A = this chain, B = another copy of it.
């Protein structure tokens, strides 16, 4: 809590330009915090001394777009043309939400929507969102607080009716299935850093290594360093 948290995506250099372009075109979902040079394993700007082959608690290895194995160390898989992308995670602003009285624990879903993203090269797919259920007052405060984090998804992209963005509540990527939103709550949706990972899966590229869900990379940057007054 209090540090900038990241999604990790590792791809071959051949796909790096198109992937970076995909992130640029979908900045709300894919705020790129650092891209290592090809073969480089140390994110020297955001976490000097770290090693991206060993310092993520759990990795998911994708081949041809399918998750084929989990690893806790990817040193044996590392190749010199690997390019590592650290992409800001919404978990970064959880502490700021808590400080403002907005509950974050066990109040988070990751959902597919029917909103298309802007494609780039082979990368394409729907926007993935984080959903929280908040009281109307909390929803207003959460909008204010997260607007201060433009480099970690920023303000919500939608408030209210999940159907308006085709949010798939019955098959969440994270969190329990939902049949209906309780009347006292408003659903609040943020663009989610899983979006680029899903786009890389959809592209069916030969190899991608990502953090396993819920096992992101924590940088040395303080969350408040990357936020606005």
Contact = CB atoms under 8 A, between A and B. Distances in A.
A45 B35 CA distance: 24
A144 B228 CA distance: 10
SS class of chain A's interface: helix, strand, loop or mixed? mixed
Given A147-B228, A151-B150, A229-B147, A45 B25 contact: yes
Contacts of A144: 229
A17 interface: yes
How many subunits of this chain does the assembly comprise?
2
Interface residues of A, number: 22
A118 interface: yes
Nearest to A121: B37
A50 interface: no
A16 B25 CA distance: 15
Interface string A201-229: 00000000000000000000000000011
Interface of A: 16-17, 20-21, 24-25, 27, 32, 34-35, 37, 45, 118, 120, 144, 147-148, 150-151, 155, 228-229
